[in-house]
Structure 1
Amino acid sequence: MKQKTGAAVALLSATTVALLLGPRLDPGTQDLATTLLVYLAIAQAWNILSGFAGQVSLGAATFVAAGGYAAGLALAHTPVDWPAGVALAVLVSCAIGAALAVPLLRLRGDYFAIGTLAASIAVQALLTNWNWAGGAAGVTLPIDRIPTGTVLFELAAFVAATAMALAVYVRYSAFGLRLTAIRDNEPAAAGLGVAVYRHRFAALVLSSALTGMAGAVTAYQYVAVSPGGMASVNWSLNAVLMALVGGAGSVLGPVLGVVVVYYGLTRQLEDFQVVSLVVEGVLLVLIVKFAPAGIWSLLTRAGRAIRGRLLGAPGSAPATPEAEPTAREIEVV
């Protein structure tokens, strides 16, 4: 309970600070912060489904596209305002997630990952041939009806805070404990009366809703929706990379992963895209091979070791860090 309360207080404090600092940032920094917050929401959504529930997904792009197109087309073809577009993005993403859950949750392991990737490719093909949605060229949104600048940053902060709050809930609630039990040993969890399908269904729909909200923010930030931008498989790959690098199965792992991967690599190497892709690929291989619990776990271990030495109690047995999953290592083949 103490950990849960501390995490909630820290999340509330961080959100408050972000909202207070937002109006003081210059436009370029606001845009960068908005992108980081969007990636954080997507990585945390992946973490809920794959890190906590153990269903490794390559389908984040499906729901980025679903949310982005729902919000974008609502503004382009109807008189509704942008908040209604965000609400529609959540509803559409939930509906698509629930529909895909029926066939996908019958799959296990690599087959589930391949199934989610196939769904993303199918969605991109569908959008490319959907004339009402602009086809391959997409649709440009009405600039006078989308949030920009500070308002867009605050919307991104709200979406990221929602994703973080849900991750804290999943990490410390009975629902989350049942999810991790299913991830660790599905037959044993089922034998103890845990409803495996219902919990995985809930995790998939929850992850879909969060990713759809992030997709809506992305559509407003791009001021356009197109298959190449909203349904690109890069969304799925970045979600996996950021969560695994930071530490899947932890609350703060995706935060660190987003900073390292997007700001530390992608942003700094944006003029050298081939080099950036190579470095990210090598980083992922190194993390999976040598630090499957992620960078956050390494940092917490180092912090505990230093604290133990400073306190002069090297023989004491420290508690298991929050960042270390209690289950099998997550691998993406």
Structure 2
Amino acid sequence: MTTLSAPAEKSTAVLRLGTRASALAHTQSQGVADAITAATGHPVELVHITTEGDRSQAAIASMGTTGVFVTALRDALLAGEIDLAVHSYKDLPTAPAPGLILAAVPPREDPRDALIARDGLTLGELPAGSKVGTGAPRRVAQLRALGLGLEIVPIRGNVDTRLGRVAGSATGPGDLDAVVLARAGLSRLGRAGEITETLDPLQVLPAPAQGALAVECRTSDARTRELLGRLEDSRTRACVLAERTTLATLEAGCSAPVAAYAEVAEGEDGPELFLRASVTAIDGSDGVRGSSTGPLADAAALGRALAEELLDRGAVELMAITS
């Protein structure tokens, strides 16, 4: 007589997902948590982690380090306090973290920048002398380079705080005429309706990996790696790899005035990457731009080649300009 063993019970262990406590980080992380549960059946709980970037109100460019929103999450991962972490991909240092692996890059949101201006104005409609707030040196440099005579004001804070500084906004009296934020964050928070203009990349090229999320876990955690792999979007990963390889080859951090944006288009032999990148002097006085096209499998090589072209054209000298 043959005895049949009972089927193994499906594991429903709760996965602990580390996230910053800001509204945007929480929303992004909850979206990933819901996707994990939908794809695998595993419940996920969010664990709030406070990072250096959350504690400080200093301008990012003045904090003297990369990864200010990342280190505490990675430390919690390595200590086994959480099983995975969700990052805004553009916040990650370009160097890999020993013991951790980027297990999934989910589909990307619209990576373009967005203007939220008083009276529904577009960038071109803002009068000379208008005060425009942004915390990113890349945006500062590119907005100045447009030659519109705008006064660029450095700002920090969460989305509500930034939007509240726009004159006539629903959340405050405001001291600015406009702010520039990532469209992806506004969309994830359900606030895309407040955008007065989505900026064309020909005007303001996005940051490397803007709009993309990075889901990280321990390299040794094979079970979690397999589960997270079900969220992977290969085209998004290829685009972001090209963009961030450009950044890394330029030896620039997330606070440098470097922009890179890759898109997938259909070529004669199948899908191709179209990569654009720029380096702009922070005072807007000069800049270099370039583009490259190639197969998705060559994403890293495309990024390196385009960065080397920009270096040959004076990118290092442009990044050294500080005012």
| TM-score, length-scaled by structure 2 | 0.28
Greater relative contact order (CA < 8 Å, ≥ 6 in sequence): 1
For the pair shown, which has the larger CA radius of gyration, 1 or 2?
Answer: 2
Going by fraction, where is strand more abundant, 1 or 2? 2
